[in-house]
Structure 1
Amino acid sequence: MLHFSRWKTLLIWLVAFAAIVVAAPNLLTEAQRASLPGWLRHDRVTLGLDLQGGSHIVLKVERSDIVKDRLEELVGNVRNALRGAGIRYTGLTGNDQTVTVRITDPAETQKAVDLLKPLTAAGGHSGPEVGLQQAGEGQLSLQISDAGITADVASAQTRSLDIVGRRIAGFGYTDFLVRPDGADRIVVQVLGSIDAERLKNLLNQPAKLSFHLIDESMSGQEALNGRWPVTSEVLYSLDDPPVPYLVDRTAFVTGANMVDIQPVVDPQTQDTSIAYRLDAGGKERLAEMTGQNIGKHLAIVFDDQVMSAPVIEAAITSGEGRISANFSDDGVRDLAVMLRAGALPATLTSVEERSVSPAFGAESIFSGLVAGIVAVVLVAALMIALYRILGVIAVVSLIFNLIFIVAGLSLAGATLTLPGIAGIVLIVGMAVDSNVLIYERIREEERTAHSFGEAVGRGFSRAFATIVDANVTIFIAAVILFYLGSESIRGFAVTLAVGILTTLLTAFTLTRSIVAVWVRKRHPRHLPKSLLTHLFEHANIRFMGIRRYVFTASAIISLIAMVAFASLGLHLGIDFTGGSLIEVTAKQGNADIADLSSRLNDLNLGDVRVEPAGGGANARIRIASQGGGENAEQSAATLVRGELEEDYDFRRVEVVGPAISGELTMMATLGVLAALAAILVYIWIRFEWQFAVGAIIATLHDVIIMLGLFVLSGIEFNLTSIAAVLTIVGYSLNDTVVVYDRMRENLKRYRKMPLPILIDASINQTLSRTVLTAATTLLALLALFLFGGEVIRSFTFAMLFGVALGTFSSIYIAAPVLIVFRLRPDAPDGEESNKTDAGVRSGTVV
């Protein structure tokens, strides 16, 4: 019986009211939320970068810089140690991770070994950081271990986190996130309207500033033509063309000694420079070195380039000065920010960038809201047309389901992305699937129940296991998607997973309580009828009668898809190939596609494609991978920005380097395999092995044909495509589970019925559910396809095709496989078999 106590009903509505209270702040402005009482939670969903604009940049600590610094440090330590002990040596060089030196007097070799052993001490690692080896004729080599370098990289990453945060804050941004990623990367996300190119320049440079003396024993050019002292090095100036200088390696003042750094403008010449003040230690060393070297040149070195080389006219005792630089006004201000924040321990290379303008984000929000509203209206109209008052109850539950989703995301502090909005719209269609399953089960139970109330209670109870089984498959796909690494895909996965949980909650608490009140107050005798009510009630389609033909046709289509995949391949997006995708909007008039193509081809960037992008003023530029590493990809995007910035605004910029694209490819492959394995293990546990095999074959069929669709249609295959494939796998198995669940019931009831007839009967009995659940999901996806915007259009197109494909495969692929693997040997024709056959075909339950 369907019964809800008053306390249980009150608890359900208290939870619903609490959800409204938690979700409501998302509709308020900042000022309105500030005026709320202190005891009320002010949680709200955080809009992702693709909805409010900003930049997502992944920086990688350059291991080569760490190796170089360690090598120079080790060479210097060896030199100082041997010189301090008066041991003569020759050939002191550093290469890769090895320092070699030859002791001139072989008799002093052991003394040198004992002297250098302290340099091999482990720095908190399990083994020595530096290995010391001795060869013949006084030859010694010190090898820096990979473990030591790896530890230094990790240390550099940790130190860089704080410095990067200070630089971004110094740049004037307040809404940003800096976090470590893996062993050598840093993820930076800055929200709002920003200059992404300037931000990258600010974060990439180590900004190591130091004061040296010019080695005037020879000119820089003479040093290049011959040999220069080992205590000096040749550095180039910032001029164009650059001038070589022979600079003493020893720095007596560094950026760490600067305690006050400000950009200043000369009121007469309008030239900009950096004014600095030194701490006590720096002031003392500067005064000492300049006093001892009057008439010589001072070298101010910035990131291994000579910024300026003034003559020392007198001792600098004030500890204050100015550094003139051939920088723009913005460049000088950025330099001041970098120097105040501190020098990075190594260069940070941009390996990935995803930037979105606030205007583009606002368009995405509007498109998502329109798609959501249209989806709700379409699904509501269909449910009310099908179930009248119960359809209204389903719509009320759907609205509360959406409120629960927003409340859950708010409490979790989740980030809502554009694919996340797509996930919510998809839930609009999938949420009422549970209502359809329940209502259609109630319709069946009416035939044998003693009262309508009993039929409603049995309908809810017996639909529970089917709904849970069906939604677990999609939940597993959502969990796998969460670990694929992309921020936007994670947003989709989170909303999908939360939506599934809230759907189960509302279906068996809120919906059930409302239906219980309706039954108790109105005392209905049957489900409300409509024109569509009995559309599939007496369906008696012989699906298995043509199974061989359909199976053959599907096999041929799958073979064509595999051949096309092997010969033509997928049109992979930059997520998997690397490269750049840039969307621009003309500042005046429409985008000139031909002119854009001509201008970009002159940049010699290889394969560049320009195409319209939703509106005459917009254009989309695709630049193939440059094949020259991470810096090459960034340089290509920088060239495009420089070429087009006067005539176009940049709506969206995505740059993916080869390291990231390779990892995304591996993650996507492993993600698909992991999702398939997890889902099929669940099916194997819940059903007999033949059902699991049928689900495997049907799933492979869907995946192969989906890939064929991408190949033959030329739709770009990217991370959102992976999300579409995994979601379709879950949805297809959702439908398959509904059919399998009914087959399992009928196998227990009709033990002698021939399997093909039993399968036909089971499919016909669940046909209304199969068709109607697909219809509601397709309506939501259609709204998303028409109004959701260009960014997710390929995703929704794939989903539309996939839902239809999944519905087909659950009938014509998953079911016939059970016959092939002889789930049950055919019972002999006889009176009992004929009776049961007739009973099932008429739709009765015996």
Structure 2
Amino acid sequence: MRTSKWAVLAYVAIILFGILAALPNVLPVAVQQQYAAFLPVNPVTLGLDLKGGSHLVLEVDAAGLRKARLNTLLDDIRGALRAERVPTSSARIAGDSIAVKIADQADRDKVLPKIQELAIPVGTLGFGTASSDIEVATADDTITVKLTEAGLSERMTAAVDQSLEIIRRRVDQVGVAEPLIQRVGSDRILVQLPGLQDPTRLRQLLGSTAQMSFHMVDTSVDPNTTTPPRGVDILPGANDGAKYAVESRVAISGERLADAKAGFNQQTNEPIVSFTFDSQGARQFAEITRDNVGLPFAIVLDGKVLTAPRINEPIPGGQGQISGNFTAQEATVLSALLRSGALPAPLTIIEERSVGPNLGSDSIRMGIYTGLAGFALVVSLMVVLYGAWGMIANVGLLLHTILTIGVLGMLGSTLTLPGIAGIILGIGMAVDANILINARIREETEGGAGAMKALDIGFNKAYATIIDSNVTTLSGTILLFMFGTGPVRGFAVTMMLGIVISMFTSVTVVRLLMREVVVRRKMKKLEIPSLFGGVPHLPKISFMKGRYVAIGMSAFLSLSSVVLFFTPGLNYGIDFSGGIQVETTSKSKLELATLRHELEGLNIGEVALQEFGQGQSVLIRVQRQPGGEQEQTVALNKIKDTVAKVVPDASFERTEVVGPTISAELARSGFLAVALAMLAILFYIWWRFEWHFAVGAIAVLLLDITKTIGFFALTGIDFNLTAIAALLTMIGYSVNDKVVVYDRMRENLRKYKSMPFSELIDMSINQVIARCIFTSMATALSLVPMAIWGGDAVKSFAWPMIFGVIVATTSSIYIGGPILLFLSRWWKDREATRSPGIETAKS
């Protein structure tokens, strides 16, 4: 129990620095700015669900990138054929390769080296061996050119990097503050823009490839024809819905644009975009306008004709303007697109979420209130259970919360609504160490130990159990961080920090404070009474006698849950099923019947409306649209337009669009995380205990999980990413409970070697039953305010967690022991039947 002065000073320094790091989060903004130089870290960054804004995930179109490379390669191959006087029609695209069919051997021998020269080095692979982006092979009279995976991978990396820079320029030019733009995985880009409620303009800005070019219009071709002659394309108008017969040959490339600005026509006051060419583009523009006076000249952006003005006179200055049915905002976006350059490949928006500032401020307020309420309930419980000694545990809890916020600030983490839920849950679970320690001290005191000895042995015996239980919880949380996305990862971060910090506050700090009290009061005996007086002696309940009834009831509930899983099934949220979700609010009461009628007339599938907030708010859910991600975006725009028509004063508090790609990936990664968490726990318990302990823990865990799944099916609560977070946390908590019981069994096995195993299990459960119940009460109490007042965002986490805590506690008491007894007896019987055979073989 002795601690050096240097260690105490280090502990004090850590606590003071943690308090200073957390301080900016409670200071007014003006005070923060005044004393910014003296504060060690900035306030914790709030996520979009707390301060409002837009979140988009864009995916580089791999198929488009492959197609673009094949088209470029085809042009280069035809150029090589032309140079060798070989017909260019012999080269064509066949699937994912290019086939060049040349009957003459001599021509093939001339062309083959030229085609091989088109290969672009990709870098080095393995032991310095060079690779290229194409493979050239010959068979009979055909030369086949294929794209290599290494080449496509490098091209994808380059495309994502280039897209990142172009997106940054585009976002900067429309003036969004504090944007977060980063690469996610190999082919995706995450864009988060605080404060931008409506991502429509952002979607237009980021989704457009901005491939601009200038073409002559062929007036001799009917634009309504379905079979245009070679060299002419029929393109739609971007604004007027008309069709244009445009020459395929690019007269001037968009790369020749030097600048583009939004402005207004001085005569008509209409929004326009004026542009300027570079020197080479200006010469080309002057020649074209000189040679084609009186003919229309089309400006094409991403395959659509923006405008096709008639050339009235030569334009030598290299300047022009684009006019049309633009709004001022559309002109600004178009000029930003042109200035930033073309994207190397199309970008598809596969996930879109936005939160209004009002909803964000409500979430912050709710998080603070439910957090304070949960903290107050846990503090009250500790005082009730341990009287004045409970106040020391509460000091540790307070420091735990402060240090968690401080470390979040130091790490630069983003705090989300599930992250607040993680902090609140962490408070409830941090109590576990103090309950274990106090229970151990009580036991040692009852055994006749003096104050300091009881304190010393109590902490030492509890420490191993605390380590084991925290490692099992941490394993599930780490997997949640690895496989989760967005806010779920925020929850995992706060949970991981809470678990690690609780090892310091609940063990080290509390131990020092309790030792200081014992020394200063010169206590001979350390008694920890509850608020209502003395603590009753350990119960002597025979759990093993009722094991058949307990296991039977558990099996029945789990089987019923499996049935519920199939009928009626889980209410899969938008994260897993994909689709669209829009929350809208009005100042007056909403007419749901009218709104439902108008939305159903859009032919976008099943529409579900959920009314809340005294009839002034509604949650609109629409199933995933047939097709890809683009169809989801089109449906969202239809929904918003319809709501705005039916409810003129409607404000969109939250929108979510999850396409088929991202929903499938989220579902796969979520369920994989649950499976891997169970495997990690199995191996850890096997390593720390014995195989039948590990198998028993997993068996009980499966029973707990099936019951929780049944709870989701029965209540109809959304089964989404937050629900996966609840499941993984419940797994960690459930095994935490089992580890405490198993640890006591292991200790008693060493102490009472001749005691029948069934009696030893009963004794062990009776010794820890108070701890199991008290820890569950603390965890449940921390979650109750969140479940009642937390709203839809955390409802799918809080209620299942409360249910899971109750299930985990009852299974630790009634189910874990009997299963362990069955496994132990089965193993002994198996060994007994094998032994005679072994002896006979030896003789």
TM-score tier, shorter chain, comes to: over 0.9
Match of 1:169 in 2: 172
Q: Which residue of 1 aligns with 2:160?
A: 157
Size of the aligned set, in residue pairs, is 820
Aligned partner of 1:527: which letter?
A: E
- Measure the CA separation in 1 of the matches of 2:417 and 2:380: 26
Preserved contact between residue 253 and residue 286 of structure 1 (Cα < 8 Å): no
Query: Which residue of 1 is the match for residue 274 of structure 2?
Result: 275
Contact 1:698–1:813 (CA under 8 A) maintained in structure 2: yes
Q: Deviations over 1:435-459 (max 9, x none)?
A: 1111111000002344222211211
Q: Please report how far the alpha carbon of residue 534 of structure 1 lies from its aligned counterpart in structure 2 after TM superposition.
A: 4.8
Secondary structure, aligned partner of 2:596? helix
Q: Secondary structure at the match of 1:792?
A: helix
In the alignment, the residues of structure 2 paired with residue 241 and residue 469 of structure 1 have an alpha-carbon distance, to the nearest angstrom, of: 68
Amino acid at match of 1:577: S
Over 3 Å counting, the alpha-carbon distance change for 1:763 and 1:107 in structure 2 is: closer
Alpha-carbon deviation of 1:363?
Answer: 0.6
What secondary structure, in the 3-state scheme, does the structure 2 residue paired with 1:671 have?
helix
Three-state SS of the structure 2 residue aligned to 1:700 is: helix
Q: Which residue of 2 aligns with 1:245?
A: 245
* Per-residue deviation, residues 191-215 of structure 1 (Å, max 9, x unmatched): 1233211111110001111122234
Q: Is the 8 A contact 1:387 1:533 kept in 2?
A: no
Distance 1:134 1:729, change over 3 A: closer
Indicate if the aligned counterparts of 2:221 and 2:245 stay in contact, CA closer than 8 A.
Answer: no
Confirm or deny: 8 A CA contact 1:446 1:526 kept in the other structure: yes
- In structure 2, the residue matched to 1:671 is 673
Q: Quick one: distance in 1 between partners of 2:242 and 2:355?
A: 36
Give the superposition deviation at 1:510. Answer: 1.1
Indicate if the aligned counterparts of 1:55 and 1:191 stay in contact, CA closer than 8 A.
yes
Change over 3 Å in CA distance of 1:107–1:433 after alignment to 2: closer
Choose from 772, 785, 790 the match for 1:788. Answer: 790
Q: Is residue 584 from structure 1 mapped to residue 584 from structure 2 by the alignment?
A: yes
Q: Which residue of 2 aligns with 1:835?
A: none
Aligned-pair CA distance for 1:280: 1.4
Aligned pairs for 1:801-816 within 5 A:
801-816=803-818
For residues 76 and 669 of structure 2, what CA distance do their matches in structure 1 show? Answer: 43
CA–CA separation in structure 2 for the residues paired with 1:89 and 1:207: 30
The 5 A counterparts of 1:98-117 are 98-100=97-99, 108-117=107-116
Q: In structure 2, which of residues 205, 209, 215 is the aligned counterpart of residue 206 of structure 1?
A: 209
Q: Who is 2:58 aligned against? A: 59
Q: Does 2:194 align with 1:195?
A: no
Over 3 Å counting, the alpha-carbon distance change for 1:140 and 1:469 in structure 2 is: closer
* Paired position in structure 2 for 1:596: 595
Distance 1:89 1:426 in 2: 69
What is aligned with 1:496?
A: 495
The Cα of 1:554 is off from its aligned counterpart by: 0.9
Q: Distance in 2 between matches of 1:638 and 1:769?
A: 54
User: Counterpart of 1:276 in 2: which secondary structure?
Assistant: strand
Pairwise CA distance, 1:781: 1.1
Displacement of 1:101 in angstroms is 5.4
Check whether the contact 1:368–1:789 (CA below 8 A) recurs between aligned residues. no
For the residue of structure 2 that corresponds to 1:274, the secondary structure is strand
When structure 1 is superposed on structure 2, of 72-81 and 270-279 the one drifting more is 72-81
Match of 1:649 among 648, 651, 655: 651
How far residue 461 of structure 1 moved from its aligned partner, in angstroms, is 1.5
- Moved runs in structure 1, 4+ residues, more than 6 A? 104-107, 823-826
TM-score, normalisation: structure 1 = 0.92
Shift of 1:528: 4.1
Structure 1 residue 41, shift from structure 2 partner? 1.5
Tell me the equivalent position of 1:817. 819
> By how many angstroms is 1:6 displaced?
4.2
Aligned partner letter, 1:210: S
Secondary structure of 2:810 counterpart: helix
The structural deviation recorded for 1:102 is 5.4
Contact (CA 8 Å) 1:754, 1:825: kept in 2 or not? no
Cα distance, 1:67 vs. partner? 3.1
**Counterpart residue identity of residue 666, structure 1:** R
Give CA deviations for 1:766-793 in whole Å, capped at 9, x if unaligned.
1211111111111111122122222111
1:129 aligns with 2:129: no
User: 5 Å matches for 1:564-713?
Assistant: 564-586=564-586, 588-645=587-644, 646-713=648-715
Q: Distance in 2 between matches of 1:80 and 1:292?
A: 28
Query: What are the within-5 Å matches in structure 2 for residues 529-568 of structure 1?
Result: 529-530=529-530, 532=532, 534=534, 536-568=536-568
Contact 1:680 1:692 in 2 (8 A): yes
- Cα distance in 2 for residues equivalent to 1:139 and 1:453: 90
1:88–1:104 CA contact under 8 A, matched in 2: no
Q: Which amino acid in the other structure matches residue 597 of structure 2?
A: S
Question: What letter matches 1:273 in structure 2?
Answer: I
Taking a change above 3 Å as real, the CA distance of residues 258 and 749 of structure 1, as seen in their structure-2 partners, is same
Deviation at 1:219, TM superposition (A): 4.2
For 1:179, what is the secondary structure of its paired residue? Answer: strand
Indicate the residue corresponding to 2:775 in structure 1.
773
Secondary structure of 1:425's aligned partner? helix
Task: Name the CA distance, whole Å, in 1 between partners of 2:463 and 2:782.
Answer: 24
Whole-Å Cα distance in 1 between the matches of residues 266 and 250 of structure 2?
35
Match of 1:323 in 2: 322
Distance 2:827 2:603 in 1: 68
1:755 aligns with 2:754: no
CA 37–804 in structure 1, closer or farther in 2 if over 3 Å, else same: closer
Q: What letter is aligned with 1:553? A: M
Question: In the alignment, residue 358 of structure 1 is paired with which amino acid?
Answer: P
Give percent identity, aligned residues only: 38
Gaps of 5+ in 2: 125-129, 829-843
Aligned-residue offset at 1:620: 0.9
Three-state SS of the structure 1 residue aligned to 2:737 is helix
Please state how far the C-alpha of 1:89 moved relative to its aligned partner. Answer: 4.3
Given the superposition, is the C-alpha separation of residues 18 and 124 from structure 1 closer, same or farther in structure 2, using an over 3 Å criterion? closer
What secondary structure, in the 3-state scheme, does the structure 2 residue paired with 1:822 have?
helix
Q: Tell me, yes or no, if the aligned pair for 1:746 and 1:762 is still in contact at 8 Å.
A: yes
Question: Partner amino acid for 2:217?
Answer: I
In structure 2, how many angstroms separate the alpha carbons of the residues matched to 1:37 and 1:295?
65
Partners of 1:689 and 1:220 in 2: CA distance: 77
* Aligned residue in 1 for 2:355: 356
- CA distance in 1: counterparts of 2:750 and 2:391, whole angstroms: 36
C-alpha deviations, 1:723-768, integer Å up to 9, x for none?
A: 1111111111111111111111111111121222111111111121
Opposite residue 661 of structure 1, the aligned amino acid is: S
Q: CA deviation at 1:267?
A: 3.5
Q: Which residue of 1 aligns with 2:839?
A: none
1-side partners of 2:381 and 2:133: how far apart?
Answer: 70
Aligned partner of 1:448 in structure 2 is 447
Q: Which amino acid aligns with 1:308?
A: T
Question: Which position in structure 2 is the counterpart of 1:837?
Answer: none
How far did 1:44 drift?
2.3
RMSD: 2.4
Residues 605-650 of structure 1: CA distance to partner in whole angstroms, max 9, x if unpaired? 1111001244421111111111211111222112111211334211
Would the alpha carbon gap of residues 459 and 145 (structure 1) be closer, same or farther in structure 2, given more than 3 Å must change? closer
Q: Residues 331, 538 of structure 1: CA spacing in aligned structure 2 closer, same or farther, 3 A cutoff?
A: same
Does structure 2 retain, via aligned residues, the 8 Å contact 1:89–1:104?
no
Q: What's the counterpart of residue 730 of structure 1? A: 732
Shift in CA distance, 140/242, structure 1 to aligned 2, threshold 3 Å: farther
CA contact (8 A) 2:195 2:357 kept: yes
Closer, same or farther: CA 286–123 of 1 in aligned 2, 3 Å: farther
AA aligned to 2:304 is Q
Give the match's secondary structure for 1:821.
helix
Deviation at 1:668, TM superposition (A): 0.9
* Cα offset, 1:151, TM superposition: 3.2
Q: What CA distance in whole angstroms lies between the structure 1 residues aligned with 2:460 and 2:139?
A: 82
Partners in 2 of 1:352 and 1:451 — Cα distance?
62
Conservation of the 8 A alpha-carbon contact between 1:583 and 1:613: no
Q: How far 1:590 moved relative to its partner?
A: 2.1
